[in-house]
Structure 1
């Protein structure tokens, strides 16, 4: 079993519900994870188990005892990786479109995690099926991902991500024309009320903010640069569909899977740039990746169609 670390907080003023207070604290755990731990009795207030709705008071001592995590039993697979950077603490990989990030029902092998396990040791704090994974991108989204090789690095990278200090820049080809050159989409996202496999903009969803800038216009299509301020599931795809500009190739959120008779295996969305802090040296690391060949082919077709 992997070791776990007890985290203790002392409340310095009345702040509200326990789950909300912990969700706003600078902890390397998601709000949903903390809520589940409260329910499981792994979060104590003054040595007593409480409900998520417990209202913390000044002087309360909150103890978080993360569950012990089993060392991964996943199979390491010799799958080629596009490694952009590697040191003793982390890797940055360029994930191809079509590759699932970690094992899940229906995808027990052939994932990025299976490939990473063959290459290097990974952090263990994120559960048996997601070792090393600090953040994810969708199966049919390509691009840069940071991966933690040890628990200390994972904590540091996750905390920086939660504090919105990690920069994640995406390129997307979307349907339609933009009059503005740049803007911000600020709309809460949650589970779709009718289709549980999808996300949607809903009134009581979690805060979600996406900044966009027009890179190139093609008449009927637009190439955007997008910066994530938050990281909700399918955030870019949901936000762009919400404003009437679905990502090209994203059949889930409103676009066909063909353009100029080119069959698209998924959305033309690429995690192009990643900026993070090296956990030990505190050096800022910046990485950039080229657009995948198919993405670039579609752009060339659009330019030729306009006589550019």
Structure 2
């Protein structure tokens, strides 16, 4: 099927390059993707399989087959999945709170990945779950999953570009000093602690942009954009500044579950270049019911 292939035509200024050079430098493919496709004979020029040292001529038509046999040790489980966007390369879903993204020792089943495997099988797609983005168990919102190795490579590569933007909304205790700003504080994982993170100079640089979008009597609703993707980044940054998220019992106030039973954090918007053609996709979701309820209670 043509949709499972990517086709390139070699330009005059690109002739003389070896196939491997062309795919790596011109098309920005990863070495892993190139090697795997070459070993399984999934690269053709003018309908003939070629080796990576093949020297290209102007007008050569390169056909890169994306389909390969692969499996994943994740059981299929029927699950209610809210699909926000889907095509041949990616699926974007709106994760509910309380759902773990991928099986772990503590959560071997009932995860989003289990539900996606069932969804792919029911749709007749031979896909494994390639997570491009992740969310904490009790954070809701948009998650990107690649359907093939090519899409995963492109999205992972482009995550640091200006065209890739992950936006969140959060309800915080108290009020920020400024209406908008940048939080630039290093985040560190203390030795012996697999879960909790802290602000510490030994940590990795972590940058969060924020803007107040609604004022309440004592608290605020923030929009936040991650410029780095550290574990628990938003929760750690806001807690350190003295404005923990409502419902965040790990970094906030113990027993803070009067109005909401999880941290009031929702990944509501994604902007990113599509793997095929670099069209910019912009996707949004509504505020979840539990966060809307919280806002009504604290206004």
Normalising by structure 2, report the TM-score: 0.73
2:294 to 295, 298, 301: 298
Q: Runs of 4+ in structure 1 displaced over 4 angstroms?
A: 25-29, 121-124
2:178 to 177, 180, 193: 180
Distance 1:105 1:26 in 2: 33
Distance 2:85 2:246 in 1: 30
Shift of residue 220, structure 1, vs aligned partner: 2.1
Q: Note closer, same or farther for the CA distance 1:232–1:28 as it changes in structure 2 (3 Å cut).
A: farther
Match of 2:98 in 1: 98
Q: Which runs of 5+ in 1 are unaligned?
A: 1-6, 9-24, 30-68, 125-130, 304-308
Contact 1:199 1:238 in 2 (8 A): yes
| Aligned Cα root-mean-square deviation (Å) | 2.4
- 1:197-239 Cα offsets, whole Å, 9 max, x none, are 2111111211100000001121321110000000000000001
Match of 2:263 in 1: 267
- 1:153-207 Cα offsets, whole Å, 9 max, x none, are 0000111113353111100001111231101100111203464421111112111
Pairing 1:110–2:110 present: yes
1:212 to 210, 213, 222: 210
Aligned length: 234
Q: Note closer, same or farther for the CA distance 1:133–1:122 as it changes in structure 2 (3 Å cut).
A: farther
Q: Note closer, same or farther for the CA distance 1:248–1:181 as it changes in structure 2 (3 Å cut).
A: same
Q: Which runs of 5+ in 2 are unaligned?
A: 1-19, 22-27, 33-68
* 2:71 aligned counterpart, secondary structure: coil
Q: Which moved more, 1:230-239 or 1:191-200?
A: 191-200
Contact 1:123 1:151 in 2 (8 A): no
Normalising by structure 1, report the TM-score: 0.71
Shift of residue 297, structure 1, vs aligned partner: 0.7
Distance 1:122 1:181 in 2: 48
Distance 1:26 1:164 in 2: 19
- 1:59-93 Cα offsets, whole Å, 9 max, x none, are xxxxxxxxxx9720210111010000000000110
- Which is higher, the Rg of structure 1 or of structure 2? 2
Shift of residue 247, structure 1, vs aligned partner: 0.7
